[in-house]
Structure 1
Amino acid sequence: MTEEKQIVLVTGATKGIGLATAKRLAQNPNNLVVLNSHRELGEAEAAALKAEFANEVRIMTGDVADEADAQRMINDLVEEFGKIDVLVNNAGMTQDKLMTRMTEESFKAVVNTNLVGTFNMSKLALKVMQKKRSGVIINMSSIAGTHGNVGQANYSASKAGIVGLTKTTAQEGSLRGVRCNAIAPGMIKTDMTAKLSDKIVKQFEEKIPLHRFGTAENISQTVEFLIENDYMTGQVITVDGGLTI
């Protein structure tokens, strides 16, 4: 029965790291995974997505950067299930350009989705979790947020902000049994890195001590670990093949 299951919400869960995370967590029959999409999926598209999962999943549409949308999503979960046990803040975007050519609009758009969206969902989920004195929040940062990256002033700033937000959420959440950690992926095979030229990919592979890009599954494994290890909070776990050693 759904009331006995752990309710898990993964934002930005229709592709890449979010989808891999949702798939891994849905393998646990004790989890009911809710996949967030920022856009409304067509009936056939939604059916095809659900067919990728062996167990029941739900799809929830909403823009995490919109406070009203974020509130509606959390309200809907609480109304149906009475709780939310795990929140994985994965929704994100990029608009890369050198800082001297980057517009204020582009900077704000990325920060709003990546950082403000994470804040919106964390704030609202935290309220629910604190009432039952348990819960886990996992935020997706990046090595761009801990080390910066050329052409990603907006993205790096948003992901650096997530590091600070994670540590504050962990401190405030710990007062009532809620844990919060972040993951900082390196070069991961996703639609985002698929846009890189073969030359750039080779250059990165030469810099990475393990000489290869990671996979979305490598990140989903870390998400699962952080959910299960109940003595970890306020940490940022780097998964980058040693790139930032």
Structure 2
Amino acid sequence: MSNVTASRKLSGKVALVTGGSRGIGAAIAKRLASEGASVALTYVKGADAAASVVKEIQNTGSKALAIQADASSPDAAIAAVDQTVTTFGQLDIFVNNAGTAIPKPFEEATLSELDHLINLNLRGVFIATQAVLKHLGHGGRIIMIGSCVGERSMTPGLAAYAATKGAVKLFTQGLSREVGERGITVNNVQPGPIDTDLNPASSDWATPQLAVTALKRYGTVDEVAALVAFIAGPESSYITGASLTVDGGTNA
């Protein structure tokens, strides 16, 4: 949990965060809850980790729910949205966080790996967003978790991943125009190198990523969550169709 004193600007709101049991997703779920939102989070594996996030949120006085759902499965994604609405009575904020990468040269990627990448990072985003739009009203927020490599790819081994995140960027822009008249904003938060289990700052894989940052350090999950919380809140109501990068100057 961030040390920043929570403002409770999201009181009365309900959020759904996909892939919310660890890393960036867990930090987002906890930050939204700290600002007053009731939060549902999905996970595929690691029920204990998901339960831990729920308990931490509940200890702060907010409501939370963990839903086992593979974001790449249409039935599971739609069911998670429906369960969130059934449990909390509404849905106001949707964070498309679930995603994966295959850090290896493109030539070495298998077809099954590429299919999984597309199904989770792009097709899953389409399916869940379509389900969510049936429930969002005026003031609703859709927030994609893209990547700085979706705009500028300098790290070797991320060609296919970058392609999916570039697609998410364009999807954000196009969708924002379709739902703007409904008072719904759609934005894309693009992290750079963030210290997580999947991309630890201590790994060999970190060296080329650190080299291209301006700040010469990895970011923290809380630094990403802070921007997501701002985009989810009332002060960002005139921001839509934007890609906002949290990358320590990687794309500078």
Q: Distance in 2 between matches of 1:182 and 1:47?
A: 27
In the alignment, does 2:110 pair up with 1:114? no
Tell me the alpha carbon deviations over residues 121-171 of structure 1, each in whole angstroms, 9 at most, x when there is no partner: 111111211xx3331000011012111242122211111111011111211
In the alignment, does 2:13 pair up with 1:6? yes
Which residue does 1:145 correspond to in 2? 150
Q: Distance in 1 between matches of 2:27 and 2:83?
A: 24
Q: Distance in 2 between matches of 1:70 and 1:205?
A: 34
Q: Does the CA contact (< 8 Å) of 2:21 and 2:46 recur in 1?
A: no
Q: Does the CA contact (< 8 Å) of 2:148 and 2:192 recur in 1?
A: yes
Q: For residues 204 and 81 of structure 1, do their structure 2 counterparts lie closer, same or farther at Cα, with a shift above 3 Å needed?
A: closer
RMSD: 1.9
SS at match of 1:52: helix
Q: TM-score, normalised by structure 1?
A: 0.89
In the alignment, does 2:227 pair up with 1:191? no
SS at match of 2:15: strand
Q: Distance in 1 between matches of 2:56 and 2:86?
A: 27
Q: Does the CA contact (< 8 Å) of 2:17 and 2:97 recur in 1?
A: yes
Which residue does 2:130 correspond to in 1? 123
SS at match of 1:175: helix
- Number of residues of Structure 1 aligned to a counterpart in Structure 2: 236
Stretches of structure 2 that go unaligned for 5 or more consecutive residues are: 1-10
Q: Which moved more, 1:74-83 or 1:135-144?
A: 74-83
Q: Does the CA contact (< 8 Å) of 1:6 and 1:85 recur in 2?
A: yes
| Paired residues for 1:64-83 under 5 Å | 64-83=71-90
Q: Distance in 2 between matches of 1:164 and 1:231?
A: 19
State the 1:94 CA deviation: 1.7
Tell me the alpha carbon deviations over residues 99-131 of structure 1, each in whole angstroms, 9 at most, x when there is no partner: 1222222111111111111111111111211xx
State the 1:12 CA deviation: 0.5
Q: Does the CA contact (< 8 Å) of 1:179 and 1:232 recur in 2?
A: yes
Tell me the alpha carbon deviations over residues 30-68 of structure 1, each in whole angstroms, 9 at most, x when there is no partner: x101111123725xx554333322233111111121111
In the alignment, does 2:54 pair up with 1:50? yes
Q: Distance in 1 between matches of 2:64 and 2:88?
A: 14
Higher share of residues assigned helix: 1
The amino acid that maps onto 2:14 is: I
The amino acid that maps onto 2:157 is: G
Identity %: 31
The amino acid that maps onto 1:32 is: S
SS at match of 2:248: coil
Tell me the alpha carbon deviations over residues 8-32 of structure 1, each in whole angstroms, 9 at most, x when there is no partner: 0011001110011111111123x10
Q: Does the CA contact (< 8 Å) of 1:183 and 1:237 recur in 2?
A: yes
Stretches of structure 1 that go unaligned for 5 or more consecutive residues are: none
Q: For residues 184 and 47 of structure 1, do their structure 2 counterparts lie closer, same or farther at Cα, with a shift above 3 Å needed?
A: closer
The amino acid that maps onto 1:197 is: S
Q: Which moved more, 1:205-214 or 1:173-182?
A: 205-214
Which residue does 1:159 correspond to in 2? 165
The amino acid that maps onto 1:184 is: Q
Which residue does 2:110 correspond to in 1? 103
State the 1:196 CA deviation: 5.9
